[in-house]
Chains A and B, each alone.
Chain A
């Protein structure tokens, strides 16, 4: 079971938020969050249309339950005034030879960006991976045009390990590269 200790953080906008692992009861709130964050889906691989397919309470409960029971998967939500404003997760490679590498992903509602929340959530993920007995490396992918995210990851100690050229193609025919980043956690 992967559960992070709840962490209360005061943001630069003065708001107090709680970073914690979601429980099955949070499924409805998670879906409300996903609907809100996918309104602008530019920085995701999944489009808003595709995301709607897995935004059902049953599926979300199942996902939360599976993560809760798996020592190699961590989900984090940030709650502010009974609403989820950020979602993040980390998962470990499934093979013997890649289980020392964890991947992570994070998203934040627009009004909670640039207030220090990303830093706090990523630090929570780093702390979890550092305490994990097997994880040595934390990796992520970010679109090259997402400059604020890249700057945040750099600040948190991530460095570039590759650039997947034209890895994402938008409906209008334009592309973006996927920048692969990592940091050691031990």
Chain B
């Protein structure tokens, strides 16, 4: 995993947060973050119950180590007052033919939404991907009811490349479509979308 220089960002409410690369010693803070985040798991493919199984220091360190070994991965956390309040990552394809594509994931703690933090996190990984010698394309999926996330991605130059009907099932007759989006990091956001 690439490691970025820590970066201070001032949010719309005046609070300062630090965006930096995930490290092995972050495991306890990550568990704390997941505990808060998964109290509302609607926007994730993983349910709160499934997340419980992943919330051990061993499992988190194993994943962090995996990311650290791969130069085409980036995992960022935003830290405020000693707590993680957002996390964002890029994982590139492992094959010769898909190494140029990075899958993006992001989450923001409930009480830090609407403050510009998602934009700052996404812009940081877009900048990293743009400077990366191999990455050409970032892609992601978002549930059709998650308007706020969709709006953020669109603002940052992501465009729709598909819509998968009923890709998530939340219960009997309760589904969501998955909107597939991508952003070409070799061209500017203005050529690519509305950003």
A and B physically associate = yes
- The segment from A55-63, A68-76, A106-114, A167-175 that touches chain B is A167-175
Contact B162 A182 (CB under 8 A): no
A155 within 8 A of B: no
- The segment from B55-63, B70-78, B165-173 that touches chain A is B165-173
B153 within 8 A of A: no
Take A139-B164, A165-B161 as given contacts and tell me if A97 and B97 are in contact as well, using a CB distance cutoff of 8 Å: no
Contact A101 B167 (CB under 8 A): yes
Q: Which chain A residues numbered 63 to 112 have a C-beta less than 8 Å away from chain B?
A: 95-101
Contact B45 A98 (CB under 8 A): yes
Q: Which chain B residues numbered 6 to 61 have a C-beta less than 8 Å away from chain A?
A: 45-47, 49-50
- The segment from A1-9, A14-22, A45-53, A122-130 that touches chain B is A45-53
Task: State which of A96, A137, A139, A166 has its C-beta within 8 Å of the C-beta of B136.
Answer: A166
Q: How many pairs, one residue from A and one from B, have CB atoms within 8 Å of each other in the complex?
A: 80
Contact B98 A97 (CB under 8 A): no
Contact B182 A171 (CB under 8 A): no
- A50 / chain B contacts, CB cutoff of 8 Å: 95-96
Residue in chain A with minimal CB distance to B44: A97
Task: State which of B46, B162, B184 has its C-beta within 8 Å of the C-beta of A164.
Answer: B162
- B166 / chain A contacts, CB cutoff of 8 Å: 100-101, 136-137
Shortest CB-to-CB span from B138 to chain A, Å, is 12
B86 within 8 A of A: no
Contact A47 B161 (CB under 8 A): no
Q: Which 3 A-B pairs have the closest CB atoms?
A: A162-B162, A97-B168, A100-B169
10 A-B pairs (CB sep. < 8 Å): A45-B95, A47-B96, A49-B96, A98-B168, A136-B166, A161-B163, A164-B139, A165-B184, A166-B184, A169-B100
Taking A97-B46, A169-B136 as given, write out 6 further A-B residue pairs in contact, using a Cβ cutoff of 8 Å, ordered by the A residue number: A97-B169, A98-B167, A162-B180, A166-B136, A169-B99, A169-B100
Partner-B contacts on A (CB < 8 A): 45-47, 49-50, 95-101, 136-137, 139, 161-171, 180, 182
Partner-A contacts on B (CB < 8 A): 45-47, 49-50, 95-101, 136-137, 139, 161-170, 180, 182, 184
